[in-house]
Amino acid sequence: PGTGTPEPGGFTSHQVLQLVRGLAGLNIVGGDLVEVAPAYDHGQIMAILAANLVFEILSVLALNRRGAVR
């Protein structure tokens, strides 16, 4: 994992993305990605996931702002 503090039993990548997508239509005002540690991110797997997650968060915020839900 590309983090200095992995959480045993935490969410999978798929679960996190589904969770964020499930926020569409709710009054969400922001999102926060806490840590990506390149020293622990062999193969840049976490960096790619983080970029995807930020994209999904911004997409949900934009959809909510427009009043659209996918």
List pLDDT tens digits, range 10-63: 899 999 999 999 999 998 888 899 999 999 999 999 999 999 999 999 999 998
64, 28 contact by CB (below 8 A): yes
Count of domains observed in the chain: 1
Domain that holds residue 58: 12-20+37-70
Burial class (CB in 10 A: 0-12, 13-18, 19+), 29: exposed
Determine, yes or no, domain membership for 47.
Answer: yes
Determine, yes or no, domain membership for 51.
Answer: yes
Against a cut of 0.95, is the pTM above it?
no
Determine, yes or no, domain membership for 69.
Answer: yes
Determine, yes or no, domain membership for 55.
Answer: yes
Determine, yes or no, domain membership for 57.
Answer: yes
Determine, yes or no, domain membership for 58.
Answer: yes
